[in-house]
Structure 1
Amino acid sequence: MESVRISITAALSRSRLLVAATLLAAACVPLAPSAVSAAPDPSPVRGSAFMGMGVVAHDGRHGGPPTGTRATQTEGVDVASYQGNVSWPTLWTSGVRWAYAKASEGTYYRNPYFSQQYGGSYNQGMIHGAYHFATPDTTGGATQADYFVDHGGNWSQDDKTLPGALDIEWNPYGDACYGKTPSAMVTWIRNFLNRYKARTGRAAVIYTATTWWAECTGNYGGFAANPLWIARYASTAGTLPAGWTKYTMWQYTSTGPTVGDHDKFNGTAAKLRALAHG
């Protein structure tokens, strides 16, 4: 009886070892694609783009806070849907006096938080504006300008509304230059700016980064009549795109308090109001 018990125990031990070895071997063999759960798509969802989305990835983040004559500059922020409902009283207390909110992207997206962000900053006493994230690979420049104006990007001569801004930068969804040659990109931008001015009477602000501008427009210098909003996360704004000798606004960080994206208007609050007045 004892010998039978020993044989059974040995057999069970061998069985357990065989099962363990089989499981280990299976773990080391790559599964067929049909047996593997699909990995999350790392590509951002259309509509999720925001000012400066590609600045850190392409230009990096250098140095500390801005240096120089900060007393003559006026603090601002820019916001998009990923920031949700913004605490405007907190920002006002910290010294923020102007704000831009993303209104639209392409001809397919409207910021669901636009009312709270655009209206909330205005109600707080800030000078506010709206911006459009350009996608030159989806529709034409004039078409996107119309979409922007019709969905929050219009201008009002109330001394508290800044001209709309065109956010033209790295494509978060594909080719950095949206598949366009420099000349085609310049044409697209010109069509947007011309239509925006025809609809509102104002020259739109151009938000961009020097490195993107050089690569994707061939460093075109013909838009200097439009206010420049330069994106560079550093202690100075650095070299500007061709045509501009000074910037109007500077996005200097994506890691500021309350709202990450902080900006400087290159002048006093009185000059900021003058820009709003037109």
Structure 2
Amino acid sequence: MARDRTPSRRHARIVGLALCVTALTLGGTALAETSVSAAGKPKGHDVSSHQKDVDWAGARAKGARFVYIKATESTTYRNPYFGSQYNGARAAGLIRGAYHFALPDKSSGATQAAFFVRHGGAWRADGWTLPPALDIEYNPYDKKQRCYGLNEAGMVGWIRSFSDEIKRRTGRRPVIYTTAHWWNTCTGGSSAFASNHALWTARHESADAGALPAGWSFWTFWQYDNSGSLPGDQNLFNGSLSRLKRFALS
């Protein structure tokens, strides 16, 4: 999940796999520990301008219950399909939210957060809006600067600046989308965000979410593939549908 370009396609499938995991948190507090099958968790997906005009009714018929939609990148890019995708998802009965692709070498966290909120990253307690999400991963534009030229402390500071501005403008802390490898490499394994930020972890072609970024003991969303039955990337929510609705409200 990054640029609006065609990714490589993988076809790992995890339907029916039994998992024993800790459930999501609301406000940073664990609700329960539960043993459920992956097939029983609410399915969702994430999309960007690459998917263009999504068949939302079709996605819901195939099992989608939530979706994250790319709104912005840095302070220079806005998804031209965002409005139709965001409103279309809601009209089809999907709980939806917006995500921002971070480029920490371009401007401060607070500056990018403000741009994001102005262009789709807002939140309201209507039961249909997921908290805004920060997509932070290896630099897709310069592999030599995979941590965007920031040292570990600088990256932690950038994320904190983004989060604080999102909280100030929306009342919610952002969900953090990342991988364990990026997080441990570029933040030095910081545990500064785990207590009050929901984790959206990415691990493809695997039977489970694997090792998590430092600090988190469980995931709230898991992106398990970048192709499948739903448009865009394939995701699961770590809990029941009723808990997903509560997460959107809390």
Q: TM-score, normalised by structure 1?
A: 0.78
1:220 pairs with one of 190, 210, 215: 190
Q: Shift in Å at residue 117 of structure 1?
A: 1.1
Which residue of structure 2 aligns with residue 244 of structure 1? Answer: 216
**Counterpart contact for 2:131–2:172, Cα < 8 Å:** yes
Which structure has the higher relative contact order (CA within 8 Å, separation 6+)? Answer: 2
Structure with the largest fraction of helix: 1
Listed one character per residue, the Cα deviations across residues 199-239 of structure 1 (whole Å, up to 9, x for unaligned) are 11111100000011111111111101100000000210000
Bigger CA radius of gyration: 1
Correspondence 1:277 to 2:249: yes
Q: Which residues in structure 2 correspond to 1:27-106 (within 5 Å)?
A: 49=3, 64-65=13-14, 67-68=17-18, 69-106=37-74
Q: Which residues in structure 2 correspond to 1:173-192 (within 5 Å)?
A: 173-174=141-142, 175-192=145-162
After TM superposition, which residue ranges in structure 1, 4 or more long, deviate above 3 angstroms? 50-53, 60-64
**Counterpart contact for 1:248–1:265, Cα < 8 Å:** yes
Structure with the largest fraction of strand: 2
SS in 1 for 2:120: helix
The percentage of aligned residue pairs carrying the same residue is: 47
Q: Which AA in structure 1 matches 2:55?
A: S
Unaligned runs of 5+ in 2: 19-36
Correspondence 1:162 to 2:130: yes
Q: Which AA in structure 2 matches 1:212?
A: W
Unaligned runs of 5+ in 1: 1-47
The worse-fitting range, judged by mean Cα deviation, of 257-266 and 154-163 is 257-266
Q: TM-score, normalised by structure 2?
A: 0.86
**Counterpart contact for 2:11–2:227, Cα < 8 Å:** no
2:237 pairs with one of 265, 268, 274: 265
Listed one character per residue, the Cα deviations across residues 231-258 of structure 1 (whole Å, up to 9, x for unaligned) are 0002100000111010000000012124
**Counterpart contact for 1:72–1:266, Cα < 8 Å:** no
CA RMSD of aligned residues (A): 1.9
SS in 1 for 2:64: coil
Correspondence 1:194 to 2:164: yes
Which residue of structure 1 aligns with residue 96 of structure 2? Answer: 128
SS in 2 for 1:131: strand
SS in 2 for 1:76: strand
- Aligned in 2, Cα 1:141/1:238: closer, same or farther, shift over 3 Å? same
